[in-house]
Amino acid sequence: MGLLECCARCLVGAPFASLVATGLCFFGVALFCGCGHEALTGTEKLIETYFSKNYQDYEYLINVIHAFQYVIYGTASFFFLYGALLLAEGFYTTGAVRQIFGDYKTTICGK
């Protein structure tokens, strides 16, 4: 068996659904984190420009905004790790199915 056949055989066993789901999860996490950061930064600039009357109120609101930013980063890191865990689970499941059923040859009605 040549290198091309060996690579093709391994790629057929890759969990493509898990790879696509992980990519979508990572994209969603990045979008959530980026949009949340930009929205809170814009809110900080709006408060600073138009609504800050005294410095103590402004300082408190900025601390609250920074706390929300840290919450967003924590949530994003949790979902990043959760996506990696799901990807690993997809690889393990695919390996178990391959071990039970052998090669990935499908029929019209499945295995």
**Structural domain contains residue 110:** no
**Structural domain contains residue 81:** yes
**Structural domain contains residue 91:** yes
Residue 100: the pLDDT is: 63
Write the pLDDT tens digit of every residue in 16-34: 777 888 888 889 989 998 9
**Structural domain contains residue 22:** yes
CA torsion angle 67 73 78 80 (round to 10): 170
Contact status, residue 62 vs residue 44, Cβ threshold 8 Å: yes
**Structural domain contains residue 46:** yes
**Structural domain contains residue 71:** yes
**Structural domain contains residue 92:** yes
Q: In which domain, by residue range, is 56 found?
A: 17-101
**Structural domain contains residue 79:** yes
Note the pTM of the prediction, 2 decimals.
0.65
Question: How many domains is the chain built from?
Answer: 1
State the burial class of residue 76 (Cβ atoms within 10 Å of its Cβ: 0-12, 13-18, 19+): buried
Write the pLDDT tens digit of every residue in 56-93: 778 888 899 999 999 999 998 898 898 888 888 877 77
Per-residue H/E/C for 5-23: HHHHHHHHCCCHHHHHHHH
